[in-house]
């Protein structure tokens, strides 16, 4: 299922921080998850290409599954885009939650899929 619309802007904001290589900001605001700033930096560096903003269709091409045990939360797998290749093999896995109108997006993994 595509990512619900209410999560698009927060996810775009998170991806923009990845594009800008602002890994420490993601860590400071709690969005870097278990990878932390250093893990995100390593994952992007090892992929060897420059991330770019995702186009609107990225949200339709992504996979979102409601988490039954956490009402209002979704497990999301989103393909990232790079300057060199467009749609890439690099996948951002995250949890997107709507906690009473407060949207929280946290990275779970960043890997080649």
How far apart are the two ends of the chain, measured CA to CA in Å?
Answer: 18
Instruction: Parse the chain into domains and list their residue ranges.
Output: 5-112
Total-model pTM:
0.94
Class of domain 5-112: alpha beta
C-alpha–C-alpha distance, residues 35 and 5, integer Å: 26
Q: Is the pLDDT of residue 88 over 90?
A: yes
Q: How confident is the model at residue 53 (pLDDT cuts 50, 70, 90)?
A: very high
The pair of structure tokens assigned to 8 is 């698009």
Beta-bridged to residue 94, according to DSSP, are: 76, 107
Interval 4-41: pLDDT, tens = 999 999 999 999 999 999 999 999 999 999 999 999 99
């Amino acid at each position: 299922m595509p990512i619900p619309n209410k999560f698009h802007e927060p996810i775009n904001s998170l991806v923009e921080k990845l594009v800008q290589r602002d890994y420490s900001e993601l860590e400071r605001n709690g969005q870097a998850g278990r990878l932390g700033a250093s893990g995100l930096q390593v994952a992007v560096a090892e992929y060897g290409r420059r991330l770019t903003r995702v186009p609107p269709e990225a949200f339709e091409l992504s996979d979102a599954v409601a988490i039954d045990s956490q009402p209002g939360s979704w497990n999301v797998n989103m393909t990232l885009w790079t300057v060199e290749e467009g749609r890439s093999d690099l996948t951002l896995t995250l949890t997107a939650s709507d906690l009473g109108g407060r949207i929280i997006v946290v990275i779970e993994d960043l890997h080649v899929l």
